[in-house]
Chains A and B, each alone.
Chain A
Amino acid sequence: MKLVTAIVKPFALEDVRGALEHLGVLGLTVGEVRGHGRQKGHTEIYRGAEYSVDYVPKVRIETVVDDEVADTVVDAVVEASRTGRIGDGKIWVQPVETIVRVRTGERGSDAV
């Protein structure tokens, strides 16, 4: 199993969710987060004074999927969230040792 973590622009959330649903991905965890990549933050201006805002609002989407669909899921997230402009985000994939459904105690792929 793989944990797919995507940091994307907040407005892309619904498109990503739709794409994952289309692929049959059942579970998602979503959080509002802040951060920056290599382009750093953005600039705001108050009474002529510029302030750089280092941490830009993003959403973090996490889902655990079976190994064989992980690449497809990543492609779908990229497809759904890409604008081609700076700040589109990052996706990373990590191996997951096990997963447990709390209600039933099922483990592994059955619990996904």
Chain B
Amino acid sequence: MNAGDTAWVLVSAALVMVMTPGLAFFYGGMTRSKSVLNMLMMSTVCLAVVSVLWALYGYSWAFGNDVGGGLIGGGEFAGLADTVGAMVGVGSDSAPWPGTDALPAPAFVMFQLMFAVITPALISGAVADRTKFWGWTAFVVLWVTIVYFPVAHWVFAFDGFTGPDNVGGWIANTLKAEDFAGGTAVHINAGAAALALAIVLGKRRGWPREPMRPHNLPFVLLGMALLWFGWFGFNAGSALSAGDLAATAFTNTMLATATALIGWLLVEQFRDGHPTTLGAASGAVAGLVAITPACGFVQPVGALAIGLIAGAVCALAVGLKFRFGLDDSLDVVGVHLVGGIVGTLLIGFVGDNSVNSAAAGDNGLFYGGGLVQLGRQALAAGAVLLYSFVVALVLGYLITVTIGFRIDEENEATGIDETEHAETAYDFSSLGSRALAGASRPATPATREPVGESR
């Protein structure tokens, strides 16, 4: 066991954890004030629900020994059996398993858990303002079970990683598409599901006629800051070691995010005449998304290019929802699906195996590798996109016809915070505000019988 690596992965897991509440604020600030609590709750519930499922069977289905042609892992780690006291590491013929840099399995289990938590939370931005809380929670349970856990197996499970004879997923081992920290498994996966749910749930009442402006842009920027900070754990932690690869991933993450922010602002300046706060926050996240799959496979100059392209492309993409009449409330498709695709495909151009000795794929086009890797990247992206979209669409309609997925029109107009959670985020009342302490205080005294008298 390597104590330095273990410490880094544990710290990274904690960094990734804070991304989910960070995302909640990023999204929460973008909603109207009557919906902010529901937005925060849709992320918060993922922390709880997905953690439990991950322990019960999620980790096993993602990282257990393959039972279905690279499509899903087995049940041997259900309930996190055989993880305490066990090690994970890169095993091969030349290096005995576990290798010298092996990690305690629980460190890896927790690190990967945080990815499983934030991925469904990313989807929630597409369904803001109009989704029943328990309908959403049911969707999270079903989607991570049927989509995330298997797709994590496809992309993240490497042969021999969790045991000497352990067989991993098809994208990682057979297709040899490269995804360092989850461009396909996390961002394309979530973005495709977001597209499906935006279709299932339909437009918000009044969209796009009524302005639905962000109610708190400082929240958005605060959320962006937490995401950016946590993303160093997401990307550099994915090296699973405290060494030069982690440092490279860290560097690339910083550089791509910086150029993406600038790219988005430049598009806004030329298109709209003003660089906006929301644009800066969105550009940063677009850059973080795009560099995620690539951060361990590209040179810093590649990261600069990926960020700039992603920032500009995503800034242009978010406008398309008005053209298609698709109410993806907070642009999950425009930022995560498009950003994820941009980053995944650009590995086919700027991927450089000299960055990462463990890289299984070929060099990108600009590093003498031809178009082979680009094709693999496109296939991986397309497979995850299609699977996630179709399953999310089916699950969405299933929830709609069973427990119901969308709140009714009156509640939507009143505000989802009040009707779904019996709370409002802000109390601005200054004239005669009167707390209704407990059920015994009548809401409208004039129409109620005196307290204490029998009816």
Q: Which residues of A contact B276 (CB under 8 A)?
A: 45-47
Residue of A47, A51, A53 touching B318 (CB-CB under 8 A): A47
**Which A11-67 residues sit within 8 Å CB-CB of chain B?**
44-53
Q: Which residues of A contact B318 (CB under 8 A)?
A: 47-48
Complex contact B279–A47 (CB within 8 A): yes
Residue of A47, A48, A53 touching B211 (CB-CB under 8 A): A53
B213 within 8 A of A: yes
The smallest C-beta distance from A22 to any residue of chain B, in angstroms, reads: 32
**Which B247-304 residues sit within 8 Å CB-CB of chain A?**
268, 271-272, 274, 276, 278-279, 282
Q: Which residues of A contact B268 (CB under 8 A)?
A: 45, 48
Residue of B214, B271, B315, B334 touching A46 (CB-CB under 8 A): B214
Complex contact A48–B272 (CB within 8 A): yes
Number of chain A residues whose Cβ lies closer than 8 Å to a Cβ of chain B:
10
Q: Which residues of A contact B331 (CB under 8 A)?
A: 47
- Most A C-beta atoms less than 10 A away, residue of B211, B271, B276: B211
Chain B residue with Cβ nearest A48: B319
- Most B C-beta atoms less than 10 A away, residue of A45, A46, A47, A53: A47
| A88 vs B262: C-alpha distance when bound (angstroms) | 36
B366 within 8 A of A: no
B322 within 8 A of A: yes
Q: What bracket does the count of chain B residues touching chain A fall in?
A: 10 to 19
The smallest C-beta distance from A28 to any residue of chain B, in angstroms, reads: 20
Residue of A46, A52, A53 touching B278 (CB-CB under 8 A): A46
Complex contact A51–B279 (CB within 8 A): no
The smallest C-beta distance from A43 to any residue of chain B, in angstroms, reads: 10
Chain B residue with Cβ nearest A44: B213
With known contacts A45-B272, A45-B276, A46-B278, A51–B211 Cβ distance under 8 A = yes
Complex contact B213–A47 (CB within 8 A): no
Chain B residue with Cβ nearest A49: B322
Complex contact A51–B213 (CB within 8 A): yes
**Which B330-389 residues sit within 8 Å CB-CB of chain A?**
331, 334
| A53 vs B278: C-alpha distance when bound (angstroms) | 17
The smallest C-beta distance from A101 to any residue of chain B, in angstroms, reads: 24
Complex contact B315–A45 (CB within 8 A): no
Q: Which residues of B contact A48 (CB under 8 A)?
A: 268, 271-272, 315, 318-319
Q: Which residues of B contact A51 (CB under 8 A)?
A: 211, 213
Q: Which residues of A contact B279 (CB under 8 A)?
A: 47
**Which B209-226 residues sit within 8 Å CB-CB of chain A?**
211, 213-214
Chain B residue with Cβ nearest A53: B211
Q: Which residues of A contact B214 (CB under 8 A)?
A: 46
Q: Which residues of B contact A45 (CB under 8 A)?
A: 268, 272, 274, 276
| A48 vs B68: C-alpha distance when bound (angstroms) | 45
Complex contact B319–A46 (CB within 8 A): no
Q: Which residues of A contact B319 (CB under 8 A)?
A: 47-49
- Most B C-beta atoms less than 10 A away, residue of A46, A52, A53: A46
Interface residues of B (CB under 8 A from A): 208, 211, 213-214, 268, 271-272, 274, 276, 278-279, 282, 315, 318-319, 322, 331, 334
Besides A47-B279, A48-B318, 12 other CB < 8 A contacts?
A45-B276, A46-B213, A46-B276, A47-B278, A47-B319, A47-B334, A48-B272, A48-B319, A49-B208, A49-B322, A50-B272, A51-B211
Instruction: Report 14 cross-chain contacts, Cβ distance below 8 Å, ordered by A residue.
Output: A46-B213, A46-B214, A46-B278, A47-B276, A47-B282, A47-B315, A47-B319, A47-B334, A48-B268, A48-B318, A48-B319, A51-B211, A52-B211, A53-B211
